[in-house]
Structure 1
Amino acid sequence: MAGPDGDRLSDSREASLGVDLAQILTTHFVRLERALEVLPDQDLWWRPHADCLSVGTILLHLEGNLRQWVLAGLGGMEDERQRAREFDGQPAGNSIELLGRLADTQNQAAALIAAIPEQDLQQQRTIQGFEVSTQDAILHVVEHFSWHVGQAVWIAKARAGEAHGLAFYDDDQLG
């Protein structure tokens, strides 16, 4: 079954919540890729004001969050996140480098999420100092990713101008 934004959501007989949420995470990553395609290169580190994030900072932050919450928190990898560095405001690469690193992390995270057995979803974990179930951790990651992708898309639309061509829904797929 396809979701309203083209996500290929599973039939409950075929797959799990993890598979569906991994697909949603991947769909949001594709939206982020599209936003970076229209964002002028010089605007990667632009931000509306000092209390807002740049797209570059968002890319660093999403990679750090996925590594900490999914790869370390759910997958058992070493948690080496240095969260403060994600927000120090210093340009730390170009969009190709940052998106490539995030793509690798997102692919690993989506695969791990999709492989979690349903019976493990209520297992309790401590991630970033929070006591959460596996399911709550996954929901947090997908929601958090979506939130920041929306910010990046807004910046890309604002900086690219009226001909940006970005939309949440692919109108050709809507009935």
Structure 2
Amino acid sequence: MSEKISTLQVIEQLSDEDILWTPTLDSNSIANLVAHIWGTVHQRIETAFFNVPDSRDRDKEFDRGLQLSKAQALELISKSFDRIIMVLEKIRAKPELLLEQPYLSLSPLTNSGVDNQATALEMLLHQFRHLPGHTAQITYIAKMRKGHLQW
């Protein structure tokens, strides 16, 4: 999955300080974006497909004081993409899962482009639109901070 690899390559080139840096006082840091990616994957993927209780705290994802090390950022990005891959493998084995509505019995989804009536397909399509925007932001912020990245 090239999105995972490229995002990990970007984060690998950063320091702990770079992960926490924000271009402006009102901007997100890479730490915020990584926490948000994980929070979204946790709430939208783990809770529905792996029966994990929802422990997401969305406000904390955007807290300006959020502390996340480079190692933690790498771990959360890897974990996020790995969960998505696991779901896709489940669906490959059982394609009818795409038409199920796994969110009906869960707490109401908030701040989402879809609601609890969504099918798994609708939610995954939403995730696939949402995720690249944030990984692109991570790359952009890293370039602002470092000036140049190795590819």
- Give the TM-score normalised by the residue count of structure 2: 0.81
2:57, 2:31 → 1: CA distance?
Answer: 16
Counterpart residue number, 2:109: 128
Greater fraction of residues in helix: 2
Counterpart residue number, 1:90: 65
- Report 1:41-56 matches (<5 A): 41-56=16-31
Structure 1: which amino acid aligns with 2:99? Q
Give unpaired runs (5+ residues) of structure 2.
Answer: none
Overall identity of the aligned pairs, in %: 22
Counterpart residue number, 1:140: 126
Question: Mean alpha-carbon deviation: is it higher for 26-35 or for 126-135?
Answer: 126-135
Contact 1:74 1:134 in 2 (8 A): no
Are 1:156 and 2:136 an aligned pair? no
Question: How many matched pairs?
Answer: 140
Q: CA RMSD for the aligned pairs?
A: 1.9
Larger radius of gyration: 1
Instruction: Indicate which of 97, 102, 109 corresponds to 2:84.
Output: 109
2:65, 2:40 → 1: CA distance?
Answer: 18
Give unpaired runs (5+ residues) of structure 1.
Answer: 1-25, 167-175
Counterpart residue number, 1:15: none
Counterpart residue number, 1:165: 150
Question: How far off its partner does 1:92 sit?
Answer: 2.0
1:66, 1:134 → 2: CA distance?
Answer: 13
Question: How far off its partner does 1:40 sit?
Answer: 4.0
1:44-68 residue CA offsets vs partner (Å, 9 max, x unmatched):
1111223321101111111111110
Contact 2:37 2:80 in 1 (8 A): no
| SS of residue matched to 1:35 | helix
- Give the TM-score normalised by the residue count of structure 1: 0.71
Question: Mean alpha-carbon deviation: is it higher for 80-89 or for 39-48?
Answer: 39-48
Question: How far off its partner does 1:107 sit?
Answer: 1.3
